[in-house]
Amino acid sequence: MRDSILKNIVSIVLRSCRNCLELPAFGQLPSLRRLVISNMDYVEYIDNYFPGGGPVRGFPSLEVLLISGLPNLVGLSREEGRELLPRLHEIYICNCPKLTLPRLSSPKLLTVSSSSNEVLSSISNLNHLTTLSVNGGDMISFPEEMLQNLTVLESLQIENFSQLKVLPTNLESLVSLKSFRIWGCQEIESLPDPGLRSLKSLQHLTISQCNNLSSLSESLGHLTALEELHVYRCPKLVTLPDSIKHLVSLRRLDIRGSELKTLPKALKHVPALQSLSISWYTELTSLPEWLGNLTSLQSLHIDYCPKIPSLPHGFQRLTNLQTLSIYGCRPELVRRCQKEKGEDWYKIAHIPKINL
């Protein structure tokens, strides 16, 4: 790799070289910033530096690494214990079941797809990660050490684990976590307790398409920094915990597609709530009178709730409400909200923007 023609290469993409046994010494390219390696059955290492190979080594300028479809990849470097990938910022890994990640201080973003326990167990070696996304695997639980040492992690996504039964419980090290998204984990029945309560910095929590989720942890109330809670398409969820009344920072609540028959009473004690969306609640038969206690509410969306016949009188107390949207509900409700002639119009006439 000493050819002067190669020293200016900034991007390399190699795909489907099925008979390739070993990669060239790409780590000696001083300007290489992006490397994509995929679908090679026999490659065991990304960096094949050998002593005496040249003064440049360890991918000194590499910023983005994408590796996928490497069933026999065991490591990023053949040589351990030396400076490697000092400028690497993003790593994308898909279907590399034997890979163990080395200790690296530079990566900030890691995405792992079709993962194995070997890969997940070594994530804690990247202790300066700020964004982590893991998706698509057949495990029923995660390795205990997966999230250790990730003290600066700000965003965590766990997606498409169809057999996963429990979420990680050892969340204590995630002291900087601000955003947590759980999506498509069909066998999960509840959120981790007490692990959830240690997420003191969490601001955004999204739970979506978890078909067996039947309850949210009472530890939810310990998330005093939480500003947004989104719960989508969790059909077995029949209630929210009473502890939500302790979510003093909650500004937005969006709940869609569960079997809730009533809105939880604890919600009336969330004074900071500014946006509320309730959608696809086929069993919700009425809106409570105490909804008028949410005096900070600025936006309210009621969509596809076919059993709600009318609006409560408490709507008159929602003096800060700027937008009311009602879609896909029973025609009777829409008729009652018609401007100046509907029976419920006087309850909502003060709202500047009404969408029916």
Domain boundaries, the chain: 1-88, 89-355
Query: Each residue's pLDDT tens digit in the chain (356 positions)?
Result: 555 677 889 999 999 998 899 998 888 899 999 999 999 999 999 987 655 555 556 899 999 999 999 999 999 988 765 578 999 999 999 999 999 999 998 999 999 998 788 899 999 999 999 999 999 888 888 998 999 999 999 999 999 998 998 888 888 899 999 999 999 999 998 888 778 888 999 999 999 999 999 888 888 999 999 999 999 999 888 888 899 999 999 999 999 887 777 888 888 889 899 999 999 988 888 999 999 999 999 999 999 999 999 999 999 999 999 999 999 999 999 999 999 899 999 999 999 999 98
* Residue 121: C-alpha distances to residues 162, 186, 204 (Å): 19, 22, 26
* H/E run at residue 334: helix 331-336
Which homologous superfamily does the CATH classification assign to the domain defined by 89-355?
A: Ribonuclease Inhibitor (3.80.10.10)
Dmax (CA) of the chain: 87
* Residue 206: C-alpha distances to residues 128, 272, 300, 335 (Å): 24, 19, 19, 34
Structure tokens at 285: 């038969």
Contact 131, 108 (CB under 8 A): yes
